[in-house]
Chain A
Amino acid sequence: MSKPSLSRFSRRNFLHGASAAAVAFAALPRRGWGAEEKKLNVYNWDTYIGETTLTTFTDTTGIAVQYDLFANNEELFAKLKAGNPGYDVIFPSDSYVADMISLNMLMPIDHGKIPNLKNIDPDPNFSNPAFNPGLKFGVPYMWGTIGVGYRKSKVETPTSWGDLLDSDKYSQRIALLADARSVMGIALKYLGYSMNTTNQDELDKVRDLLVKQKPHIKTFAPDSGQDLLLSGEVDIVMEWNGDIISTMEEDADLAYVVPKEGTQVWTDNICIPVGAPHPENAHAFLNHIHDPEVNAEIANTIKYATANKAAKAFLPTEDLANPAIYPPSEVVSNSESLVSVGDFTPMYDRAWTEILAA
C-alpha cells in the first residue's frame, strides 16, 4: 500500500471513473424490491488485501466482487465528493473518515449485521476512535506508523527525528515524505507540540526549522522514499512503516524505527458510502473481513498491523513481535493521529508552500 500526497497517476483515474460509471449504470436498473442482486463494488488501496479474501467471500456468500483501486485518500475523496459513482465499500484513513462523516458521505452501519465486530481490539483507539465514535460509520481495518527507514551500514540507529529534521549529520542523504500535514506534523512532534496544532507560532517554528534543514534534504519524495533507500540514493527516509518493511525483505541492510518523540499513528477503515447500491452485501463484506482467519490471511499478506484481536491467534509470532509492524505501547501512547484542523487548513498549506519555495 502507498499513501502519496499527490495523485500522479491521474491518467489511471479515467479508467477507474469509467469502470465505476459502467458498474453504476449496470447496477441501477436491476435494483428492485426484495433481496439485493449478488454484487458488490469495492474501492480499495493497491496491494491492500489478502490473496484469498475476495474468493472466500464469493464462495461463502455467492456475491461477486467488482474490485477497483485508488492511490491516495485525496483521490478517494474527490471521486465520492461529487456523488457516489456506485461503490459499496471504501477504505478511507482516519481524518478522512471524520471529514466524510461531517459531509454526510458515509452511511451509518448496522452493528447487528456484523457479528464479527466482537473480534475488534477493545483498545479505544480501535473500538471507539475519536474520528468515528462508537464505530457508527465504519469499522477499523489496518493501522500503522510513520517512522525512519535507514541503511544500517551507513547510519547509526536513529533515536530522534532530529537526525532528519535538525542536523547536518546526513546532509543530502535525507528524504522526507511529500505529504504536507505528515511532515509538518512530525516536525511539530519533534518540537514538542501537537501535530494537530492550530497555533500559528508553533507552525511558524516548524516552518523555520524545515527551511533551515532544507539544504540537507535531498528531496520530498512523493511516496518513493523506500525506492530511494533501496537504490542507495539516500540513506535515511521518513516513510510509512509498511513501505519500509516490504523493502527490508529485499535488502537486509535496511531497518525501520520510530523515534522517541513519537509519531503519527494512522488507522484505515472500512466504510459504506452514502448511495451504495448494495448496502446489505457491504455489511456481509465488513463481517467477512473481520472473520479471524480471513483477517489473519490479509495481515499476513500485506504485513500491516490488524485491528482485529481475534486474528492475532492465526498470525506468525515473529510478525506480532516485530516492532516495525506492531510498535510497543509506549510508542503508540506517545503518538497522535491526524485530525482535520478545519479553518486552519490554509495556514498549513501556506506554511508548506513557504517551506517549498524557500
Chain B
Amino acid sequence: MQDWRRDKRAFGVLILPPSAWLVLFFTLPLAIVWVYSFGERGPLGQTLLALSFDNYGRAVEWINLSIILKSVWIAAVTTAICLVLGFPLAMGIAFAPARYKNLLLLLVILPFWTNLLIRTYAWIAVLRTKGYLNFALEWVHERIGAVLSLLGLPDLLGPFEPLLLLYNQPAVIIGLVYVNLPFLVLPVYATLEKLDKSYLEASLDLGAGQWRTLFSVTAPLAFPGIFTGLLLVFILALGTFLTPDLLGGPRSIMIGNLIAQQFGPARDWPFGSALSFLLMYATFVFLWIKAAVARQGGGVSY
C-alpha cells in the first residue's frame, strides 16, 4: 500500500471529491446562514443583507434565553435517562454469547429503518387518552376490580381514570429517549466490545465485588464511549424540533421549534439564522469540552 506522505498527488485526487462535497453542501450553506444572521428582516419577510448585531441581541434576550436554557435542561434529562437505560443494555449486548450479539445489535438499530415521523405518530397512538397504554391499564384495572369484587370489595378501586400521558413535558422526554437511545448504546457497546476482559477478571480475582468492578474498572475503561454517547444524545436532543412539536403541550417549546417558527410563519430568516448559530456555538462548546477531556484521557496510561 502506498503511503500518502510519499505520494501527495494520489492523496490529493482521493481527497478532492469529499472536500468539494463538504465545501459545496456544508460549508457554503452554513456560510450563507452565517451571513444572513447579520441581516435584517424586510417588511414583507424578505432577507435584507446588512451588518447588524440586532438578531444576536434579540437571541440573548431573556425570553429566548429561557427557551434555550429549558432546551438544555430537557436535553440533559434525556441524556441522563439514556445513560441509565443504555449502559446496562450495551453491557448486556457486549457480554452476550457471540451468536446473539448481531441479533441484539440489529434490534437496537431496527427502529432506524422506519421514518422518524411515523415512529413519533406511533407514540401518539400509544400515549393518548384513548391510546394503547391506557387501554392496557384499563384492562388490568378491570381484572383487579373483578378479583376484588369476588373477594367482596367491589368499589375499592373506583372507576378507571385514564392517565394524561400526551401533550406534556414527560411525553417529549419519552419521545426523545426513545429516538436517541441507540446513539448512546452503539458507542458504549463499541468500547465495551474492545475492552480487554482480563482486566475485569483481574479485578474480580483480586477481591473486588461485581459492583466495585463495574464502577472502578468497567465504567472508567468504557469512558470514551460513554462520553461520546452522552455528547451525541445531548446534541441531538438539544436541537430537536419534531418531537416537542408532535408530542409536546402548550409549554413544550424548544429552541428547534423557535428556529422553525422563524424560517416558517414569522418569515424572519435573519433572526432564525442568529438563533441557529447560537445553538451551534453552544454545540461547539460541548465539542471543545469533549476534546479537552480526550486530551486528558490521553495522558492517563493504563
Contacts and interface: CB of A to CB of B under 8 A. Distances in A.
A74 interface: yes
Given A103-B44, A103-B46, A346 B266 contact: yes
Contact of A233 (B66, B166, B258, B260): B166
Contacts of B88: none
Contacts, number: 94
B67 interface: yes
Nearest to B47: A81
A218 B43 CA distance: 34
Interface stretch (A27-35, A41-49, A349-357): A349-357
B265 interface: yes
Interface string B174-198: 0000000000000000000000000
A10 B63 CA distance: 27
A155 B115 CA distance: 37
Name the interface size band of chain A.
35 or more
Given A6-B245, A8-B117, A74-B265, A356 B250 contact: yes
A245 to B, nearest CB: 23
Contacts of B212: none
Contacts of B249: 217-219
Interface in B32-72: 41, 43-46, 63-64, 66-67, 70
Contact of B266 (A233, A349, A357): A349
B284 to A, nearest CB: 25
Interface residues of B, number: 37
B242 interface: yes
Nearest to B162: A232
A181 B264 CA distance: 12
B167 A218 contact: yes
A349 B261 contact: yes
A220 interface: yes
Given A6-B245, A8-B242, A218-B167, A180 B265 contact: yes
Given A342-B44, A349-B266, 18 more contacts: A6-B264, A6-B265, A7-B264, A8-B245, A11-B117, A74-B265, A180-B265, A180-B266, A219-B167, A219-B248, A231-B128, A231-B129, A343-B43, A345-B45, A346-B266, A349-B262, A353-B67, A353-B261
- Those 4 A-B pairs whose CB atoms lie nearest each other, nearest first: A342-B43, A349-B266, A356-B253, A219-B167
